[in-house]
Chains A and B, each alone.
Chain A
Amino acid sequence: MSLQKLWVPLVIVLLALPQSADAKKGYLKEKPEEPNLSIVFGYIDMDDAPTNLKWISMKRVRPRTAKPYYNFWVKKGFFYRASVPLGSYHFDSFGGYSGLRNADFSFEFPSQGRGEMDPIIKKQGVYYVGSYKYKKIKTGIFKPNQFDIIKVDSPSERELLTQLLEYAKHPEWLGLIEKRLKELKQ
């Protein structure tokens, strides 16, 4: 299985997300503002990371746009958002805050090439980008730290969809999730 490689700067601060799409649009409680909007979700286990997962950012690469960034709702490694239009997307970066170290951490995905998580949304639906675990790679004392996220089996798509049901208050989003759950049962 291919691994998604990450890098982290020596001096790490919380990445400001410029030109991001309105976070409220990713809310599952509100009516979709236009047709053909999708839900994207996934999970990262950050137990071995210096911080927990506080944010994750996805960038729309096609069609190209001046405001390409999409933020997610995050809860204990589980991330999701609604109102994602049709297009091709690239997970850009993620991070969090460590109270122990009193530092913000930002991890960036490689900016070139399609990564394992990157969804291409051709029709409206619920898109699971996978469950992953953060893993540190030993590089030696004087080399910059390197990291992978490796794909894991748990939590499964079904488990995460079940969690997602708790947040989906609007019937349109609810319907999409239930439809996907039915597909998984078949």
Chain B
Amino acid sequence: MNISPHKIVAFIVAASLSVCSYVAFSKTLKSIGSLDEDEIVLVGRIELVPPLEEFEQNLKTIGSKRYKNAAMFVIGERPVDVQNPGLRDGKYADGVKFGEDFYLRRKRSDTLIYSGSIILTNSAMVGHGRRASVDVDRLILPGGLKYEVQPSDRAIYIGTLRYHRDDYNAITKVDLLDEFDKAKKAFVKQHGATVKLRRVKPTLAK
């Protein structure tokens, strides 16, 4: 799951911004009662080692501050090219805070593919007047995991993804941790025991 340091990261700023602006934290489940019949909730966590430091994210544009110490977690019924996301890929991305359990709503699907996560490290206006533009930079956390969903599932636990990075922000290792018991306890505390949380082990997506 390593990213080549020499991989081309050519992308159109406008497209990237559109995806970023489309990503919302509002898709996080607030109460289990609000979960629609055709939805399931994904429970998990994402971690970065070493964690982001304050000055590693320069978020100056309107709305970008919500991505502080957060990643855009990209998961859905089809894979997404997180290096070069399309305008229609925003619906597969949710903002999740590092080091916190997330509860993400998703349309039910037989399989869910985790394509990776995007960290917004820079979002700042440059230039003035008609020549102004937005300078954007991102770090990519690689994905490529597939989760099988059963028809009876309403809530699935997808694990803790712990990314290790080097000084140059290359991802050197990814741990997939099973912290089901802890996550279930927190889930029941927040959402009650009416919905059963099931642990799903991923396989590598082809």
Interface residues of A (CB under 8 A from B): 2-5, 7, 9-16, 18-19, 61-62, 64-66, 68, 88, 90, 106, 108, 110-115, 118, 139, 144-146
B103 → chain A closest CB, angstroms? 29
Q: List 27 A-B contacts (CB under 8 A).
A: A2-B6, A3-B6, A4-B6, A5-B10, A10-B13, A13-B126, A13-B131, A13-B132, A15-B135, A16-B124, A18-B58, A65-B55, A66-B54, A106-B135, A108-B137, A110-B6, A110-B7, A110-B8, A111-B139, A112-B9, A113-B3, A113-B5, A114-B5, A115-B6, A115-B168, A144-B10, A144-B12
Task: List B contacts of A4 (CB < 8 A).
Answer: 6
Residue of A61, A106, A112, A115 with highest tally of chain B CB at under 10 A: A112
Known: A9-B135, A114-B5. A146 touches B126 (CB 8 A): no
| A90-B168, A111-B137 given; 18 more Cβ-contact pairs under 8 Å | A4-B6, A5-B9, A5-B10, A9-B13, A11-B13, A12-B133, A19-B55, A64-B53, A68-B55, A106-B135, A111-B138, A112-B3, A112-B5, A113-B6, A113-B169, A114-B168, A118-B168, A146-B10
A3 → chain B closest CB, angstroms? 7
Chain A: CB-nearest residue to B50:
A64
A7's contact among B10, B58, B121, B131, by CB below 8 Å, is which?
A: B10
Residue of B3, B58, B166 with highest tally of chain A CB at under 10 A: B166
A10 to B17, CA, bound (A): 13
The reply to whether B139 and A112 contact each other, CB–CB distance below 8 Å, is yes
Task: List A contacts of B167 (CB < 8 A).
Answer: 61-62, 88, 114
A19 to B53, CA, bound (A): 15
Secondary structure of the A side of the interface?
A: loop
The reply to whether B6 and A10 contact each other, CB–CB distance below 8 Å, is no
A16 to B140, CA, bound (A): 24
Chain A: CB-nearest residue to B53:
A64
Task: List B contacts of A7 (CB < 8 A).
Answer: 8-11
Chain A: CB-nearest residue to B141:
A112
The reply to whether A111 and B14 contact each other, CB–CB distance below 8 Å, is no
A43 to B56, CA, bound (A): 28
Known: A5-B9, A110-B5, A110-B9. A66 touches B55 (CB 8 A): yes
A74 → chain B closest CB, angstroms? 20
A112's contact among B58, B124, B127, B169, by CB below 8 Å, is which?
A: B169
B24 → chain A closest CB, angstroms? 24
The reply to whether B58 and A61 contact each other, CB–CB distance below 8 Å, is no
A142 to B168, CA, bound (A): 32
B86 → chain A closest CB, angstroms? 14
A139 to B10, CA, bound (A): 11
The reply to whether A111 and B169 contact each other, CB–CB distance below 8 Å, is yes
Q: Which parts of B47-76 form the interface with A (CB within 8 Å)?
A: 53-56, 58
The reply to whether B121 and A111 contact each other, CB–CB distance below 8 Å, is yes
Task: List B contacts of A3 (CB < 8 A).
Answer: 6
Task: List B contacts of A108 (CB < 8 A).
Answer: 137
A169 → chain B closest CB, angstroms? 34
Task: List B contacts of A139 (CB < 8 A).
Answer: 10
A13's contact among B6, B55, B127, B138, by CB below 8 Å, is which?
A: B127
Chain A: CB-nearest residue to B137:
A111
